[in-house]
Amino acid sequence: MESLQDKAKAFRELHAQPMVVLPNAWDAGSAAVIQHAGAPAIATTSGGVSWALGRGDGQRLTRTEMTAAVRQIVRTVSVPVTADIEGGYGPDPADVAATVEEVIGAGAVGVNLEDSRAGTLSLFAPEVQAARLAAGRAAAASAGLPELWINARTDVYLFGVGEPEGRFDDVLARAQAYAEAGVDSIFVPGLVDLAVLRELTAASPLPVAAMAGPGAPSVADLASAGVRRVTVGTAVAQGAYAVALRATQELLGAGTYDELGSAMDFGTLNGLFG
């Protein structure tokens, strides 16, 4: 069987390409389908995982719940998996370290760690978040996976932190601090303005990751702006739940099944699970 180190190396090699696209899974079934569609790696989405477990998004999972979901996904697919660990399930560097160790134990070869405080729209100060990120890097080394890819998420644009004219400089300062902490990329959800992204990717010491979805620029356009990694957050999960909603409404209303006409073939879907 391929070792965790081999998967981590393969995941790093993906990031050596000009662009890596990581569809987001929320459970083992969605991960199997995403792999079947040809994804070379999979990212989890905390929002989707939360909904599947009957919770709202926003750091309402426990470390144990999230880790269990990651473990199920890893066991179901053969491609590398990077885990959304939200804010690390605790404010202190030791909390982040414990979370990183557990998700590595579950088979993840990457993590996504955000700088927002659980349950708030406020962010950790850059130096505080840098210490948390450094603890994650040290924990990965201690766990035998120094190759773990750490994607440092900043919510400056997503939460509209500070005055608009100061957000770019805030993100750039955080990118510098987070780079010094040993992370591999900076993730800036909420920012899809190509002109601003072009300026950021030119100035950032780290590769820039973006979150796309309906209404956002295409992957090709994001790549042309220098973005190196694209995910879609909860968008695929939202699309799947939308099908469930429309199909149920049709069934209970008209009593017909047109919404289910494009469903995956049962044999194909069932065959994804060994």
> What is the pTM for the complete model shown?
0.96
Reference 19, options 260, 206, 209, 215; nearest CA is: 209
Which tokens is 128 given? 């505080």
- Residue 1 clears pLDDT 60, i.e. is over it: no
C-alpha pair distances (Å), 4 with each of 8, 61, 112, 143, 217 = 6, 25, 18, 11, 34
Q: What is the pLDDT of residue 72?
A: 98
Length of the chain: 274
pLDDT, tens digit, 9 for 90 and up, residues 116-147: 999 888 999 999 999 999 999 999 999 999 99
Domains plus CATH for the chain?
4-234 (3.20.20.60)
Instruction: Provide φ and ψ at 123, rounded to 5°.
Output: -115, 155
- Residue 2 clears pLDDT 90, i.e. is over it: no
Element (H, E) at 128: helix 126-142
Sole residue written with tokens 């969605």 = 30
Reference 35, options 77, 83, 81; nearest CA is: 77
Q: What is the pLDDT of residue 170?
A: 98
Sole residue written with tokens 């929002």 = 47
Q: How far apart are CA 207 and CA 10, in angstroms?
A: 18
